[in-house]
Amino acid sequence: MRNLNIILEYDGSRYKGWQKQEDNDLTVQGKIQSVLSKMAGENIEVSGCERTDVGVHAENYMANFHTNCDLSIHAMLDYLYEFLPDDIAVKSMVEASERFHVAYNIKSITYVYKINNNELRNVFNRKYVYHSEGKLNLEVMRIAAESLVGTHDFQGFATLTDNAKSTIRTINYINITEKNGMIEIEINGNHFLWNMVRIVIASLLDIGEGKLEVEDIETLLNEKTDIKYSLMAKSKGLSLRNVEY
C-alpha cells in the first residue's frame, strides 16, 4: 500500500475547519477524502498535521493518506485539480515511507495573522485580512510578544478540554512586521493548544490598542487558573503558513 504525502493550500472561509464531522461534510478533510475515495475506488482516510479552526486558511498544509491506487502522482494531481473545489488546491504529492504520519515528529508550526491597519478596509482582501482602523502601537506589541516567547504554561491563553494532558508549550518566535499599513504577526511554536494562537493574537491586538498592558500578559502567563482572557482574534485573518519536521 502506498503512503502519499501532500501539501495543500485552502481558503477556509466557507469551511467548518479542517477535521471531518459526522453531521457536517463542509470541512476541508471531508472534501479531500471524498474526491480521493472516488478517484481510488476505495475508502480513503486523510490525516492532517493540525486541526485548523472554522474559517482559518492554510498556505502549506501537510497531509498524508494510504491507498492501493496505482495511478501516477501526476495523474492524481490532475484529478485533484479538476475535481476539488476551487478553494482547495493540492500543491505537491510525494511517496512517503510506510510509517510516515504528518502529525508525528513535528518540530514546529508557523501561523501568520494579517491585519489591515489603514483607515479604510480593502474590499479585495476582506476575507483574509482583519481590519483594525485604530492605529496599533507596534513597539509595545513587540515588547509584549517577547514576553510570550519561550516555554511557558499557556493555560490562560487557550480553550481547555478535558483531555488536555499538558498546557506547557514553546513559542520559538513572534515576528511583527508592517508595510504600507499592512501588518503580519508570524508566530512559530512546537505545538499549540486549542484556540491558543487566536487568543495570543487577540491579546497582542489589545496591547496595541491600549486596552491591555504588557504586565497583563505576564500575569496571564504566571497564573495557573482557568482561562481569564476568552476573546479570540477573528479567524479570517489567520493562516497556517508552514510545518517543519
Active site (catalytic) residues: 53
d(CA 10, CA 95): 22
Phi and psi at 169, nearest 5°, equal: -140, 160
The H or E element that residue 239 is part of is strand 238-244
Q: Residue 73 carries which DSSP code?
A: H
DSSP secondary structure, 19-51, as one string = S-BTTB--SHHHHHHHHHHHHHTS---EEES--
User: Given 3-state DSSP classes, what are the helix, strand and coil percentages for the chain, each rounded to the nearest 5?
Assistant: 25, 30, 40
- Which amino acid would we find at residue 66? H
Local structure of 76: helix, strand or coil: helix
Count the neighbouring beta carbons within 10 Å of the beta carbon of residue 144: 24
Q: Residue 65 carries which DSSP code?
A: E
d(CA 195, CA 49): 16
Count helices and strands in the chain by DSSP H and E runs: 5, 10
Count the neighbouring beta carbons within 10 Å of the beta carbon of residue 21: 12
